[in-house]
Structure 1
Amino acid sequence: MTENSRTAVTRLSLYHLPDAAARYLFLSVLRAGWIDAAPGGGIARQNCPGDDVLYCLSGRGEVRIGAELLRIAPGQLVWIPGDQPHEHWADIADPWSVMWFRMQGPDLPLLRLRILGQGGPQVNIASGAEMIAWFQTLFSTLSDQRPGVEVRLNAVLARFLELLSGPANSEARSLLPAPLDRLMKQMMDHPEAPWTAEDMAKVARLSHSQLRRLFHQHVGVTPRSFLRNQRLVRAQRLMQESKLSLKQIAEATGFFDAFHFSREFKRAVGQSPAVWRVAEWRG
């Protein structure tokens, strides 16, 4: 395998090494993460072990598989065969933020054919909230390496394949309960809102305990953790695309103040907002 990589800002990176038996028995995940790419940032390979799946949250990018060039926009997913030459890179003017994972398992070419059919590797995702929820479940599972992780990862991947299967992939019915899907979409659209527990329960039309149970079951995080992640996503976009001060960005994204924003950002990303912003501008 030969590989050529370009700069990207890694928000999250998780790795997993399946045992020998699992590689032949299960679909498994070798690595997964969340990357905010620098302009033009990407990677080129002749091949790699396993298939990569990228889901575009924001911005734009391009993927080349063999001779085929795909332009990827927000809400689109691309399944990249590891056994073919491929490369992908972020748009210069509007670099993408992508959640991604690499899967390994028996007979991936046949699996691609069964799930994607003749429609190609690029898929429109009808429910962005559901796909983000699925990735957060994956990240949570990879972070918990207790015995039985291979079985849990196989189950998580089965849910992913269910999301993509069925007639007209782009029109697949959401697998999230309707109250949860409704609330998550509104939280993603308006992360700057106060979003008290009462607000969340009112939008979902559920009790507080029911709502927490559904988030735990389908997303793997609490409602408050999901909201914090959406605020950080919005804050990063503002740091990349505007000259607003960190104080103004904190106010625009629902944080109490600049100190609260900086603390939560560093906890999630590993860098202060100021350091991350400078690195992005230089990228």
Structure 2
Amino acid sequence: MTKDHRDEILFHTPGRHAEAYPYKILVAGRSRFTENDGLVTRRFHHHTLILTMSGRGLIEIAGQRFAAGAGSVVWLDTAMQYAHGCHAEADHWRYLWMSIDGHGLDAVFAFLRVGQSPVFSGSVTAEPLFEQAIGTLGHRSQTTDALSNAIVGQLIALLVAERGEQEEDSSERIQRLMRALRADIARNWQIEDMADISSLSASQLHRQFRQKTGTTPMDWMRHERMNLAKRLLTSSEAKISAVALSSGYADPYHFSRDFRRISGQSPSEFRRARGQ
């Protein structure tokens, strides 16, 4: 890495009382890449947080590439090999960064699924914390370890809050879709219809729905239809074809096939077994 890449780098060796604090900042600095610089491969043994100030960066981890736009925060577990540099669509990448250590960071990293999604949208409050980290390491004193702990704690709280809000938003989208499916269970639903209601792409919907329920949207709806069919079979004398239609099946044969596969009985056998 040339001098142009890294404008400033500051190291810190925690003091003898540092063990009293859960978090530590070991290194911090300011860096810059230009469009003429290639990707630089690195491997350290700390967690690293990167705040993009301007331009756009590219992070490569285990063959996957992630873009880092202005204002975003990237969390790297640098015990894994990674590469980073200026994005091909930008003329530079300028960022602040810090390498941190502390109790429970691996657990938080896993909880937030950072390995699968290392880029956070960031917050206006992140920049002052990064600047404070650099200033703290640049003017070390007896309070450096205490201040470092406070800075890292606030940054982790920001990232947890952001990912938590995304999780809550994702849950609400899935719940909204479930309500729509239950309200119009007989409709000829297509995955595109479900994606529109949940404001997700088809692939995002499939992934997030499986994360929340353990199954796919279509399988979940099929079981909901079977639950409705069972209620109709035991609470009415409607013909099997009518029950099928009310449960979203235009074809009684397909209805009977799915019913037997899920319940282990045909609709008629299910009804007779319950005295109907």
TM-score interval, smaller chain = 0.5 to 0.7
Q: Is the 8 A contact 1:38 1:90 kept in 2?
A: yes
Deviation (angstroms), 1:91? 2.7
Q: SS of 2:161's equivalent?
A: coil
Cα distance, 1:35–1:53 mapped onto 2, change above 3 Å: same
CA distance, structure 2, for counterparts of residue 97 and residue 158 of structure 1: 24
Distance 1:169 1:32, change over 3 A: farther
1:122 pairs with 119, 123, 132, which one? Answer: 119
| TM-superposed deviation, 1:137 | 1.7
Shift of 1:114: 3.4
Aligned to 1:56, which of 48, 52, 57? 52
Whole-angstrom CA distance in 2 between matches of 1:118 and 1:9: 26
Code of the aligned partner of 1:90: C
1:84 maps to 2:80: yes
* Separation (CA, whole Å) in 1 of partners of 2:63 and 2:83: 11
Q: In structure 2, do the counterparts of structure 1 residues 167 and 153 end up closer, same or farther at CA, with 3 Å as the change threshold?
A: closer
Paired position in structure 2 for 1:72: 68
Pick closer, same or farther for the CA change 1:101–1:107 going to 2, 3 Å.
same
Give the CA deviation at 1:169: 5.9
1:43 equivalent among 37, 40, 44: 40
Pair 1:18-2:14 in alignment: yes
Structure 2, unaligned runs of 5 or more: 167-276
In structure 2, relative to structure 1, the CA distance for the partners of 1:48 and 1:20 (3 Å cut) is: farther
Q: Which runs of 4+ in 1 moved over 6 A?
A: none
Distance in 2 between residues matched to 1:160 and 1:28, nearest whole Å: 12
Partner Cα distance (1:91, 1:81) in 2: 20
**TM-score normalised over the length of structure 2:** 0.52
Any gaps of 5 or more consecutive residues in structure 1?
172-283
Aligned partner of 1:140 in structure 2 is: 135
Structure 1 pair 12/141, CA: closer, same or farther in 2 (3 Å)? same
Larger radius of gyration: 2
Equivalent residue, structure 2, for 1:99: 96
RMSD: 2.8
Distance 1:117 1:11, change over 3 A: closer
Pair 169,71 (structure 1): closer, same or farther in 2 beyond 3 Å: farther
Amino acid at match of 1:152: L
Displacement of 1:145 after TM fit? 1.7
Q: 1:7 to 1:136 in 2, by over 3 A?
A: closer
Q: CA deviation at 1:22?
A: 3.2
| Conservation of the 8 A alpha-carbon contact between 1:24 and 1:106 | no
Q: Secondary structure at the match of 2:13?
A: coil
CA distance in 2 between counterparts of 1:105 and 1:48 reads 15
Secondary structure class of the residue paired with 2:92: coil
Native 8 Å contact 1:57 1:99 kept in 2:
yes
Change (3 A) 1:156 1:25: closer
Q: CA deviation at 1:86?
A: 0.7
2:147 is matched with 152
Aligned counterpart for 1:29 among listed residues 14, 25, 40: 25
Matched, 1:110 2:81: no
